[in-house]
Amino acid sequence: MARQIVVNAGISETRVAVLDGGVLTELFIERRRHRSIVGNVYKGVVTNVLPGMQAAFVDVGLAKDAFLYAGDFIANLGEYERMMLAEDEDGDIELEGEEPGAGGEGAGRSPEAPPERERRAITPIEDVLRKGQEILVQVSKESLGTKGARITSFISLPGRSLVYMPQVNHLGVSRRIHDAEERDRLRQLVRNLRPAGGGGFIVRTVGEGKGEVEFGADIQFLVRLWQQVQARFAQAPPRSALHEEGDLVFRVVRDLFAADIEEILIDGEEEYRRALEYADALVPALAHRILTGRIS
């Protein structure tokens, strides 16, 4: 059945409905004054280390200090890449183990190379973090009530067909891609295109059927973005935002707009123009399927 995306741009919020054969399957809401900060990357400053909880508080410039668990700083692999895929992939991915000699067991204090695997696996958080230390972090969960946002040092940067994890060397393919031969093809393709500096990648559902040109462009874009984040970390003052996720309209075009989407209907002129710009850059072959008009 035909799938359709409907975008209702209100004064105070934007609502996005995904319809499959006329049946609502997904609903997303973003309020203009309270845009999500999940995915944003910051240069934070450690304000307190809690050995008993194996956690730390980090000031990233928000109203409340963010919370960093030890496992999101010194473990083998953080959980954030799964969180970043939750909207698109149901967080359901299959990861290969890290390759021998891979450089990166989470990495996180700064964009420099991380310490040895053996040391990080057993080192208490109080031995690797100190008050006043500047660290590179990404928001993995919004603040809730009196609690600040949860952060991680495992950076994940989503592209159109891939999610890039620059500090590890894992490869993954969305389990929504069911064909075993296609999964093997995609994994081998990404392995061959992996940049010289390493890094991990997850193939998103929209990557099914894509080839070297599409994945190569995605990898080049994501590697440049990571380099920009590293440069900003070196130059920006503490508590600065180094990278911010796009708004809901951008994420719809990037994450949901695939060949099986018959149309995207948008009732706001500004949102319609922005969606066209995003589509022209990301999926020009599908841009004509973005329409504007009144939603009944």
CATH of the domain at 276: 3.30.420.60
pLDDT at 100 over 50: no
pLDDT digits (tens, 9 = 90+) for 3-44: 999 999 988 899 999 999 989 999 999 887 778 899 999 999
pLDDT band for position 93 (cuts 50, 70, 90): very low
Residues 148 and 16 in one domain: no
Q: How many residues does the chain have?
A: 296
Residues 140 and 17 in one domain: no
pLDDT digits (tens, 9 = 90+) for 160-201: 999 999 988 888 998 889 999 999 999 999 999 999 888 999
Let me know if 71 is exposed, middle or buried by CB neighbors in 10 A (0-12, 13-18, 19+). Answer: middle
What pLDDT score was predicted for residue 119?
38
Residues 13 and 118 in one domain: no
Mean pLDDT of the chain: 84
What pLDDT score was predicted for residue 1?
58
Residues 117 and 149 in one domain: yes
Kindly give, in sequence order, each residue whose CB lies less than 8 Å from that of residue 65, ignoring residues fewer than 6 positions away. 47, 48, 57, 58, 59, 148
pLDDT band for position 112 (cuts 50, 70, 90): very low
**Residue 260: which domain range?**
1-35+247-296
Residues 109 and 22 in one domain: no
Residues 133 and 253 in one domain: no
In angstroms, rounded to a whole number, what is the distance separating the alpha carbons of residues 201 and 21?
A: 33
Residues 176 and 254 in one domain: no
Helix (H) or strand (E) holding 14: strand 13-20
How far from 269 is each of 7, 90, 209, 272, CA to CA, in Å? 11, 31, 33, 5
In angstroms, rounded to a whole number, what is the distance separating the alpha carbons of residues 286 and 210?
A: 15
Residues 114 and 64 in one domain: yes
Would you state the structure tokens that stand for residue 18, as one six-digit string?
């995904």
pLDDT digits (tens, 9 = 90+) for 219-248: 999 999 999 999 999 999 999 999 998 889
Residues 161 and 295 in one domain: no
In angstroms, rounded to a whole number, what is the distance separating the alpha carbons of residues 155 and 232?
A: 14
- The domain tally of the chain equals 2
Residues 275 and 232 in one domain: no
Residues 60 and 111 in one domain: yes
In angstroms, rounded to a whole number, what is the distance separating the alpha carbons of residues 175 and 90?
A: 9
Boundary-marking domain end, from 209, 228, 246: 246
**Which CATH number belongs to the domain containing residue 239 in this structure?**
2.40.50.140
pLDDT at 90 over 50: no
Boundary-marking domain end, from 228, 246, 264: 246
pLDDT at 103 over 50: no
Residues 164 and 64 in one domain: yes
pLDDT digits (tens, 9 = 90+) for 44-76: 999 999 999 999 999 999 999 999 999 898 765
